[in-house]
Amino acid sequence: MQIVLAIILGAAFGAVLDRIGATNPSILNRMLALRDLRLAKAIMLGIGVFSILTFAGQMLGLVDVGHMSVKAANAGVFLGGVLLGIGWAVSGYCPGTAVCAVGAGRRDAIGYVFGGLLGALAFTLVYDAVTAMGLLDGIAGGKVTLGPVPGSEYGGVLNIRGDVLGIIMGLIFVAVAFVLPERLRPAPVVGEPVRA
């Protein structure tokens, strides 16, 4: 039943990503260039609402904290984040949007997904060497959160309950999604060269 639920939720999530334009690299690149922030607004709204629902559900006992997982802070995570950001800016895809784009019939996304799988294989093959270099050693306590969530095994950096902090941050994301303008930079005039 869990796999069926995962497939249904994944398909629904993919459909929403396609509907808001996240499977179109042109829309993603306009967002990254700050020329069209409608997608950023949708992403921030989604993160904010999900954060509020997750942590409110946890406080009400509807969400099991045991299912929450925290990624350990290490140099490899930061390096991987930089590489992901560069790849996203160059291709117009991130891993999730690329898989959804393949499902939506975009052939250019197939190359991105194939490249991602090759990258995962390459990382698997050099994992022992990366570990030996210390890139995966924990930084700042390894698996920590901004605030400790009651019932979880993770420590917090700040002295405020993590579930309360999660709801506050969710509300901030929702507010920013509503007040953020659709553009921070003007759209280029047709016929004029585009400047970065």
Find tokens 């939720």 and name the residue. Answer: 9
Amino acid at site 116: G
**What is the rounded distance in angstroms from the CA atom of residue 157 to the CA atom of residue 138?**
15
Would you call 166 helix, strand, or coil by DSSP? Answer: helix
Q: What does the pLDDT average to over 13-19? A: 86
Q: Is 0.85 topped by the overall pTM? A: no
pLDDT of residue 47: 92
SS percent in the chain: helix, strand, coil, step 5: 60, 5, 35
Query: Greater confidence, 129 or 196?
Result: 129
- 118 band by pLDDT with thresholds 50, 70 and 90: very high
